[in-house]
Chains A and B, each alone.
Chain A
């Protein structure tokens, strides 16, 4: 049966939920439908590694409490892939044949795993790792087959998450990473080495600077080993392909919506087509560190971009202030937070401090923080991240940022006082500025 809704959201994850919640804050009545090709209510995607490790159930992974869709008056169409969009007719065509027409559309379709050209990739025992169903398939395979060794191709966030889960299942894991270090997108070589140390101590074998050329199998059936580009062979009964995700922008591209690496959106999260918005892993939105549109495929940015899109869709003008890559890693008990550029490039300056159990680093451009890594001692990292987001000049106290005892008190009072003190009477109501306040511009 065909439907007509005011708001149609494709993708039921961080971005889609952020948008739905923002829409409902403004418009509690307008008909709202969320379509997803996954069969589950929104779940925390990063938790699929906890699921695989056997640490949680789907129920524990749900991003919102049971009853969320009903109480927010949201029509759900799960297990329903959208096949085609007609943006001039404002109609989405589902695989079931059903059509849904919309007034405002959000594309929050996320990413799909990249599978490289590898010989033998049709063998049984090769998996990607981006959905709960992936985790379930891997779990089933482990239960039904004799697996003791696994090769994970790719040493990024997803690969390392998979590796940790598999180690917790008692398997011997090798990570094969093409670059010279794992987690190279978010960590510098020092922090990456700390991470590699934690993984190695937990029994993970890490092979950097190598790629997998071929997956070998028994009689063309199940995985038996992989061959590396240096002809080295690693025996294994399972392979996880985790070299990255790419935006699932096919629907958008097919409909004539502007797509670069991802769907191009402005600060309102609006695409090139009126009343069509995009957010999350599929979108290329503003990155305040690189001062340009970029893919930043992380959960918080998907949710926040979704909120901005949703507010605009419901008629409340909102602007995305920009997000940058920010990540928290806690593999095998080592805590590392990172944001922005991991290394100083093109005239940037890096300063770092290290000591017993901690490593702090900030990258500065024109006296403003554009990158940070806090390892070991992380509780104050958010203070530095806020200086980064606000573009505060830190020249005068930059060394304090990487000290072991860094805290709010290391900063000039002009920065921390307004965050803690009671606002002066009268000021409060006067402060309704539209832009975020520039609360401190260093005095240099």
Chain B
């Protein structure tokens, strides 16, 4: 599947990815309205980590074996047939168990709504808003072959399924 990969060496730490993520997940899809007028306030599903001289953006890896999905108490989290890990907001109760299961800390708390907020790769757009608006091309949306280990596999699997 196509995932967002990060090149930390060229990340400026500008935070525009967070801004455009919020807009993309707002109701108005308008920068000013999304930030000033909307309630509930949209929550960014990407987070920039900064520790000079390093900075990089973190969002859901859409793991091949998603421990968050395997830990969800309500069935709200799901691995879709296209590989995207999605949350059904109707069924999320904000228990935060998935936050403990996420190896990159990519799941955000939307405290106002009492639910999680997570990257959905901007379903419906050709390219996720964070990637499209990254000024230094630190983020790339590319297809890399799925593997059971390595990036995107999930962190240490809940189980090791051996191919028979």
A341 to B23, CA, bound (A): 41
Tell me the chain A residues, 413-434 only, with Cβ under 8 Å from chain B.
413, 416-423, 427-429, 431-434
The answer to whether A315 and B164 touch across the interface, beta carbons within 8 angstroms, is: yes
**A335 contacts the other chain (Cβ, under 8 Å)?**
yes
The answer to whether A422 and B101 touch across the interface, beta carbons within 8 angstroms, is: no
The answer to whether B149 and A383 touch across the interface, beta carbons within 8 angstroms, is: no
**A106 contacts the other chain (Cβ, under 8 Å)?**
no
Shortest CB distance A164–B (Å) = 13
The answer to whether B105 and A47 touch across the interface, beta carbons within 8 angstroms, is: no
Contact with A along B148-164 (1 / 0, CB 8 A): 11111001111111111
Out of B8, B109, B144, which one reaches A420, CB within 8 Å? B8
The answer to whether B100 and A328 touch across the interface, beta carbons within 8 angstroms, is: yes
**A28 contacts the other chain (Cβ, under 8 Å)?**
no
**A380 contacts the other chain (Cβ, under 8 Å)?**
yes
**A52 contacts the other chain (Cβ, under 8 Å)?**
no
Using A47-B93, A419-B155 as known contacts, say yes or no to A382 and B101 having CB atoms under 8 A apart: yes
A389 to B58, CA, bound (A): 20
Out of A317, A319, A419, A432, which one reaches B147, CB within 8 Å? A432
Shortest CB distance B139–A (Å) = 10
Using A307-B70, A383-B105, A436-B149 as known contacts, say yes or no to A378 and B96 having CB atoms under 8 A apart: yes
The answer to whether A432 and B75 touch across the interface, beta carbons within 8 angstroms, is: no
Most buried by B among A308, A413, A423: A423
A407 to B105, CA, bound (A): 8
A244 to B93, CA, bound (A): 24
**A404 contacts the other chain (Cβ, under 8 Å)?**
no
Interface size of B in residues (CB-CB distance below 8 Å): 55
**B7 contacts the other chain (Cβ, under 8 Å)?**
yes
Out of B93, B150, B156, which one reaches A423, CB within 8 Å? B150
Out of A318, A416, A420, which one reaches B160, CB within 8 Å? A318
The answer to whether B70 and A380 touch across the interface, beta carbons within 8 angstroms, is: no
**A62 contacts the other chain (Cβ, under 8 Å)?**
yes
A233 to B57, CA, bound (A): 57
Interface size of A in residues (CB-CB distance below 8 Å): 65
**B31 contacts the other chain (Cβ, under 8 Å)?**
no
The answer to whether B155 and A420 touch across the interface, beta carbons within 8 angstroms, is: no
A409 to B50, CA, bound (A): 7
A420 to B46, CA, bound (A): 12
The answer to whether B144 and A328 touch across the interface, beta carbons within 8 angstroms, is: no
Using A299-B73, A300-B71 as known contacts, say yes or no to A382 and B107 having CB atoms under 8 A apart: yes
Tell me the chain B residues, 81-108 only, with Cβ under 8 Å from chain A.
90-91, 93-97, 99-105, 107-108
Chain B residue at minimum C-beta to C-beta distance from A45: B73
**B25 contacts the other chain (Cβ, under 8 Å)?**
no
**A221 contacts the other chain (Cβ, under 8 Å)?**
no
Out of B7, B102, B148, B159, which one reaches A382, CB within 8 Å? B102
Using A63-B75, A328-B97, A420-B56 as known contacts, say yes or no to A379 and B107 having CB atoms under 8 A apart: yes
Shortest CB distance B94–A (Å) = 7
A390 to B54, CA, bound (A): 25
Enumerate chain A residues within 8 angstroms of B144, measured Cβ to Cβ: 422-423, 428
**B51 contacts the other chain (Cβ, under 8 Å)?**
yes
Enumerate chain B residues within 8 angstroms of A315, measured Cβ to Cβ: 164
Chain A residue at minimum C-beta to C-beta distance from B142: A422
Tell me the chain A residues, 167-191 only, with Cβ under 8 Å from chain B.
none
Using A321-B159, A409-B56 as known contacts, say yes or no to A382 and B104 having CB atoms under 8 A apart: yes
The answer to whether A382 and B105 touch across the interface, beta carbons within 8 angstroms, is: yes
The answer to whether A311 and B161 touch across the interface, beta carbons within 8 angstroms, is: yes
Most buried by A among B100, B105, B152: B100
**B6 contacts the other chain (Cβ, under 8 Å)?**
yes
Enumerate chain B residues within 8 angstroms of A44, measured Cβ to Cβ: 73-75
The answer to whether A421 and B8 touch across the interface, beta carbons within 8 angstroms, is: yes
Chain B residue at minimum C-beta to C-beta distance from A62: B75
**B5 contacts the other chain (Cβ, under 8 Å)?**
yes
The answer to whether B73 and A47 touch across the interface, beta carbons within 8 angstroms, is: yes
Enumerate chain B residues within 8 angstroms of A317, measured Cβ to Cβ: 161-162, 164
**B140 contacts the other chain (Cβ, under 8 Å)?**
yes
**B61 contacts the other chain (Cβ, under 8 Å)?**
yes
The answer to whether A321 and B158 touch across the interface, beta carbons within 8 angstroms, is: yes
Shortest CB distance B117–A (Å) = 11
The answer to whether A436 and B8 touch across the interface, beta carbons within 8 angstroms, is: no
Contact with B along A276-313 (1 / 0, CB 8 A): 00000000000000000000000110011001100100
Out of A46, A339, A381, A410, which one reaches B95, CB within 8 Å? A46
The answer to whether B155 and A421 touch across the interface, beta carbons within 8 angstroms, is: no
Using A420-B5, A422-B144 as known contacts, say yes or no to A311 and B159 having CB atoms under 8 A apart: yes
The answer to whether B107 and A419 touch across the interface, beta carbons within 8 angstroms, is: no
The answer to whether B100 and A381 touch across the interface, beta carbons within 8 angstroms, is: yes
Chain A residue at minimum C-beta to C-beta distance from B90: A60
The answer to whether B149 and A300 touch across the interface, beta carbons within 8 angstroms, is: no
Contact with B along A220-249 (1 / 0, CB 8 A): 000000000000000000000000000000
* 10 A–B pairs (Cβ distance < 8 Å), ordered by A: A326-B100, A330-B96, A379-B109, A382-B105, A408-B56, A408-B58, A409-B56, A422-B7, A423-B147, A428-B145
Besides A317-B161, A423-B150, 19 more A-B contacts (Cβ < 8 Å) are A44-B73, A46-B73, A65-B75, A303-B70, A316-B162, A328-B96, A337-B96, A379-B47, A381-B100, A382-B107, A389-B156, A408-B56, A409-B50, A410-B51, A421-B5, A422-B7, A427-B150, A431-B149, A432-B147
